[in-house]
Amino acid sequence: MKFNTNTANRKIPTELHGRKLIPFSGKGKGPYRKRKYAPKIRKVSASDNKVLKSLRKAIKKSELTDGETISFHHHFRNGDFLLNIVCHEIAKMGLKDIRLVPSSIQGVHKEILPYLEKGIITSINCGTSGTIADAISHGKMEGLLTIRSHGGRARSIENGDVEIDVAFIASPTSDIYGNINGVYGEYACGSLGYAFPDAQFANHVIAVTNNLVPFPNTPISISQEHVDTVVELDKPIGDPSGIVSTTLRITRDPKGLKIARNCIEVLKASGLLKDGFSYQSGAGGTTLAATNYLREYMISKKIKGSFAMGGATKSLVKMLEDGLFKTILDVQSFDTYAVNSLLNNLNHIEIGASQYANPFTSGCVVNLLDTIILGGTEVDVNFNVNTSTESDGRIMWGMGGHQDTAEGAKLTIIAVPLLRGRIPIIVDDVISINSPGENIDVVVTERGMAINPNSPYYSILKRNKKLDIKSIDELKKIAEDLISGKPKKPKTTDRIVAMIEYRDGSVLDVIYQVED
Amino acid sequence: MKIERIAQAGSLESCDILITVEPSKPKTGIHIHLESPAVKQFGDRIKSEITEVVKRLEIQNVKIIAIDKGSLEYCIKARTETALRRASGE
């Protein structure tokens, strides 16, 4: 196998599973196609009926065949049932060599594991967590896992890197003509943003709903001209209570709270925290706590922000309701409070994945962010962030919008503890890179923070005497002293099981099968 | 020191370790069964830290079950010593 070295200093094969790989060469420099991909033209006439009671009939009507690609959205998160239901049906129908393109794979999807082992599902394109991620790490899937950010996924669908043959859209409410929203029905999940590119660019779209209503269903999130079939299913498509089960609650860990407070100190010192401020945070326990500290500070200083971006949580929605932000732009609702807000509050706006974070559009919202607070499993001395692999080499997580927001935001803060148990988080070299160091401004830990010397905020933050600033090497050394040494490097085979794309489609890193 | 009965120290809280000590027959040596979320990265080191305490207390034969939840060296050594002393009837 021949390799190139990319600008993140990672060895990338020139070709993998028949695809020529373009090594990552820095932000804004990636491969660029001149035209968007165009899906097949379909024709539905006045006499045609779109509604079917049987999922099997709908799949047959889509003419899905071996070797093709199907997609899903993950707004139900760990409460999603539809991906499992469809994969069971496809297996029963005898289809094989299917490429799966969901916006995320969660723990609940462990049911599809036998299909990876039997060659029914042979490759996956998305962020993957839980049992399926672990199985892929152990080499149980024939093809490759391609890990993309949310913006990168939208880009890959719109520029044709990924051609979706059939998109399955879990639809909390749909009318008989396929006008869909996520805010009504027993199984409301809120925003359907990640499914927007699928609906627009798939060759065939199947809406699956438990709540079929007369035409026209409003509000319309995904509209009828994209939807070929509406399946009315008896079994629930998802359980909204599963949405919150994989997002952490606000941390009560004193370490986490200290990190959260330090993040807000950085924001205050940066000069960005003033009227018109825009903000996004991940949904981890520490970043949720940071959002609450931000709230207190904005109230005390009477600061009125412009927009906050979701993952919309109750904390964020409360800030909207209290006038601390004018608008929430919501690609994904993280709890039922946010779902209700999306339904009832005119300033809580649903946006699609491309509007959110696709780099190859006429401008996505992440470009307008002042600040993003993110997490990670590891950070290295070059500020590269790992979100996908644990320090034992196994794939455990996806990356959400990490890459997109880190590149887009003016100030990108990584909030991580120095240790998780005995595992050091700041290391010489991360196992795999999800977010390149050039996009990271500050790494905040409970024992001080490190500022990237290349960050435009370096000098303004460095001057601030209140901040406990250390070099990234010092932080690494403190961790190593606490744990008396360095952890053993994981043993891997020479087989590549996953590839991490940058949001532009170039390749940041590859992940090898772990050895047991 | 001689191990005379089963004893425990520690807990299953995050960042702690639960050490269970059992007597074993003469000339069977030191046996450690370790479970840890970081067994690949730190398994050998944790075992050697436990062994160090056992040898310091001049124990020749013992069975130790260690369930680790991400503990650091000082914690591992303290829990091990406490469990061993409890088991010795001191």
Q: Domain end: A177, A210, A245, which one? A: A245
- Please name the residues between 368 and 397 in chain A that touch chain B, using a CB distance below 8 Å: 391-393
**Which of A153, A161, A53 has the alpha carbon at shortest distance from A105?**
A153
**Domain contains B1:** no
- pLDDT given at position A281: 85
With an 8 Å Cβ cutoff, is B33 touching chain A?
no
> Is residue A312 located within the same domain as residue A422?
yes
In a domain, residue A91? The reply is yes
Do A216 and A90 belong together in one domain?
A: yes
Nearest residue, CB atoms, A487 vs list B41, B69, B72: B41
A73 and A105 in contact (C-beta within 8 Å)? no
pLDDT at A246: 54
Beta strands in A467-506 (DSSP E): 492-501
Query: Does residue A241 share a domain with residue A290?
Result: no
* Residue that is written with structure tokens 């794939």 in the block: A395
Q: Is residue A9 included in any domain, yes or no? A: no
Kindly state the average pLDDT of the residues B30-48.
94
Domain end call among A192, A215, A245: A245
CB contact under 8 A, B41 and A484: no
* Same domain assignment for residues A310 and A458: yes
> Before A311, cis peptide (omega within 30)?
yes
Which CATH number covers residue A310? 3.40.1080.10
Considering the domain architecture, whether residues A216 and A292 belong to the same structural domain is answered as no
Q: Looking at the domain assignment, is residue A10 inside a domain?
A: no
Tell me the C-alpha distance between A236 and A417, whole Å: 39
Which residues on chain B are in Cβ contact (under 8 Å) with A484?
45, 72-73
Please tell me the distance from the alpha carbon of residue B61 to that of residue B54, in angstroms, as a whole number: 9
Do A231 and A266 belong to one domain?
no
Beta strands B17-23 and B62-68 are antiparallel
A17: nearest Cα among A154, A146, A138: A146
**Ramachandran assignment for A98, one of left (phi > 0), alpha (psi -120 to 50 degrees), beta (any other):** beta
- Is the domain of A96 the same as that of A159? yes
d(CA B54, CA B52): 6
Question: For position A164, what pLDDT does the model report?
Answer: 98
Name the residue type at position A365: V
Domain co-membership, A176 together with A292: no
Report yes or no on B71 lying in a domain.
yes
Q: Which of A103, A87, A85 is nearest to A95 (CA)?
A: A87
Encoding tokens for residue A208?
Answer: 């699956």
Answer yes or no: do A238 and A261 share one domain.
Answer: no
Task: Give, rounded to a whole angstrom, the gap between the first and last alpha carbons of chain A.
Answer: 24
Same domain, A138 and A274: no
| Residue A422, token pair as written in the block | 């005995």
The answer to whether the CB of A456 falls within 8 A of the CB of A462 is no
Whether residue A279 sits in one domain with residue A214:
no
- Residue ending a domain, among A245, A276, A306, is A245
Q: Which domain holds residue B43?
A: 7-88
Scanning A400-513, the segments in alpha helix (DSSP H) are: 402-408, 458-462, 472-482
Q: Is B64 helix (H, G, I), strand (E, B) or coil?
A: strand
ipTM comes to 0.83
Judge whether A422 is closer than 8 Å to chain B, CB to CB.
yes
List CB contacts (< 8 A) between A423 and chain B.
Answer: 38, 41, 70
Whether residue A189 contacts residue A182, with contact meaning beta carbons closer than 8 Å, is answered with: yes
How far apart CA A336 and CA A341 sit, in angstroms, is 9
Q: Is the pLDDT at B27 greater than 80, yes or no?
A: yes
Residue A361 lies in a domain: yes
For residue A154, give its domain range.
Answer: 62-245
Report pLDDT for A247. 54
Quote the number of domains for chain B.
1
Domain count, chain A: 2
| CA B80 remoteness from chain centre | 4
Say yes or no: A437 and A484 in one domain: yes
User: Is B2 within a domain?
Assistant: no
Three-class secondary structure of residue A112 per DSSP: helix
pLDDT in tens, chain A (516 residues): 899 999 999 999 999 999 999 999 999 887 888 899 999 999 999 999 999 999 999 999 999 999 999 999 999 999 999 999 999 999 999 999 999 999 999 999 999 999 999 999 999 999 899 999 999 999 999 999 999 999 999 999 999 999 999 999 999 999 999 999 999 999 999 999 999 999 999 999 999 999 999 999 999 999 999 999 999 999 999 998 888 765 557 788 899 999 999 999 999 999 999 999 999 987 778 888 999 999 999 999 999 999 999 789 999 999 999 999 999 999 999 999 999 999 999 999 999 999 999 999 999 999 999 999 999 999 999 999 999 999 899 999 999 999 999 999 999 999 999 999 999 999 999 999 999 999 999 999 999 999 999 999 999 999 999 999 999 999 999 999 988 788 888 899 999 999 999 999 999 999 999 997
